[in-house]
Amino acid sequence: MKLVGLLVAIALVVLGGLMLRDRDFLPVLAPSRAPLDGEIERIVVEKSARRLTVFREGEAVRRHRIALGFAPEGDKAREGDGKTPEGLFRIDRRNPGSAFHLSLGIDYPRPEDVARARAGGYSPGGDIFIHGQPNRLKGIVTIPYDWTAGCIAVSDATMEELWRIAPTGTLVEIRP
């Protein structure tokens, strides 16, 4: 049992070292650019690239690394599938008291998602957010792998910037 604990500790140290080398995941510890001000018009999430791009006046102004649901391949079909939905959405709510260092809700499920799920006799799921890291990590590390239940996770510093610049109504396009 002690060997298992030791192996877990070593794995965490190695992952921590990998995260420290990734400047996109730790902008709080290694700021590399000035913060954005003003509102943006669009967020594009490319699931396969694990990338979130922020657009203003049609121009990409910032790119961030992301983590997705624990089973990210394909479109979200039902509650509990671990997939991040694909399509066009809007930010429809803001949660300053999130368990994941702020969160911006997207308007999933859409009416067609609800209809499909109703026809299949299951729940489409919901509560899909762009959010920061678990509050218990308090900005110390950013989880570098797909771990959410279907949300889009970013570093806490990235989430703080998105919180400032992405108003309710911002278009969010989630691509495969």
Mind telling me the catalytic residues?
A: 131, 151
Task: Specify the amino acid at residue 30.
Answer: A
Please count the other Cβ atoms lying within 10 Å of the Cβ belonging to residue 172. 24
* CA–CA dist 63, 90 (Å, integer): 19
* CA–CA dist 148, 69 (Å, integer): 4
Positive or negative CA dihedral for 43, 46, 50, 53?
negative
> Which secondary structure element, helix H or strand E, spans residue 8, and what is its range?
helix 2-21
Structure tokens at 70: 């624990």
Order of strands across the sheet with 171-175? 59-65, 51-56, 42-46, 171-175, 87-95, 103-106, 129-131, 152-153
Give 136's DSSP letter.
G
